[in-house]
């Protein structure tokens, strides 16, 4: 059950310690760990993404793109795997975020979590699967013995290469809008204004950066560059605050009964 929020010591509204349902305490802790893991993955993706961009910088044709991917298959596959892992980590995080933020604004919490879950499905099923298909085609292209066979794989990859920029726009933008909504709601929660303000910045950056693949302006490219490291710091900060707060929640009744039974 949830209770109304209480007034903070410094005049601003703050979420009461017991406004969270203690029955979900273990989910909150799991979400905190996964947020920290997402932060670590974010830093790794920042490094792999920079390397991928460097490898693809000179590829201006489908054939050149396939050749670049075939020469760095482990890098591209590792980058895609990290994105997929972080996407799946966001599923329990999105559920926990709704449960944590609903005492403050149920509608906004639901909208934010719905957008994040939609991003997870879209990114895994469309963007990353398209990337993995291109990796597979690049391997076949590199091993093709004739120019005719290579042309076949180039034609097969044309659709995926043509639409990958638009897919990245949705992948970068949709989830960031949902997390931006979370950050705004966090302003009046136990997360504090510092974490909320950082979240607003961290999620405005990928919204701007989402335009970089289709509108390569300096401001969009800079936002795209900063989005991952700033977002990683924010994810870790949210995870730390969530873990610190939920430590003080009462033990769920069922878990307490199990502990007594074990004794």
C-alpha 122/C-alpha 167 separation (Å) is 9
Using DSSP's 3-state secondary structure scheme, residue 14 falls into: strand
pLDDT by residue (tens digit) across 85-113? 999 999 999 999 999 999 999 999 999 99
Burial of 240 (0-12, 13-18, 19+ CB in 10 A): middle
C-alpha 68/C-alpha 237 separation (Å) is 37
Using DSSP's 3-state secondary structure scheme, residue 13 falls into: strand
pLDDT by residue (tens digit) across 242-257? 999 888 777 666 555 4
Over 50: is that where the pLDDT of 118 sits? Answer: yes
**Average model confidence (pLDDT) for the chain?**
84
Q: How far apart, in Å, are the Cα atoms of 56 and each of 164, 221, 237?
A: 13, 15, 33
Using DSSP's 3-state secondary structure scheme, residue 7 falls into: strand
Angle at 58 between CA 52 and CA 62, to 5 degrees: 90
Structure tokens at 83: 């994105």
* Whole-prediction pTM: 0.82
C-alpha 47/C-alpha 52 separation (Å) is 9
C-alpha 216/C-alpha 209 separation (Å) is 9
């Amino acid at each position: 059950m949830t209770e109304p929020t209480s007034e903070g010591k410094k005049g601003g509204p703050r979420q009461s310690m017991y406004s969270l349902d203690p029955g979900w305490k273990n989910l909150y802790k799991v979400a905190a760990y996964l947020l920290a893991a997402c932060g670590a993955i974010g830093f790794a993706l920042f490094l792999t993404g920079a390397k991928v961009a460097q490898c693809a910088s000179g590829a201006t044709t489908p054939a050149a793109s396939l050749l670049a991917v075939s020469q760095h298959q482990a890098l591209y596959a590792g980058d895609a795997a990290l994105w997929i892992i972080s996407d799946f980590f966001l599923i329990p995080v999105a559920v926990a975020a709704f449960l944590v933020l609903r005492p403050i604004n149920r509608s906004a919490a639901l909208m934010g979590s719905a957008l994040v879950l939609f991003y997870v499905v879209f990114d895994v099923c469309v963007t990353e699967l398209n990337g993995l298909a291109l990796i597979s085609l690049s391997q076949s292209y590199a091993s093709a013995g004739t120019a005719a066979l290579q042309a076949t794989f180039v034609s097969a990859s044309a659709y995926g290469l043509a639409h990958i920029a638009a897919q990245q726009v949705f992948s970068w933008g949709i989830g960031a809008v949902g997390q931006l909504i979370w950050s705004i709601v966090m302003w009046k929660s136990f997360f504090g204004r510092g974490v909320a303000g950082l979240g607003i910045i961290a999620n405005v950056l990928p919204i701007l950066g989402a335009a970089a693949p289709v509108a390569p302006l300096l401001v969009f490219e800079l936002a795209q560059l900063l989005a991952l490291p700033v977002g990683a710091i924010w994810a870790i900060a949210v995870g730390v605050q969530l873990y610190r707060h939920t430590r003080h929640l009462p033990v769920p009744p069922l878990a307490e009964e199990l502990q007594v039974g074990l004794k």
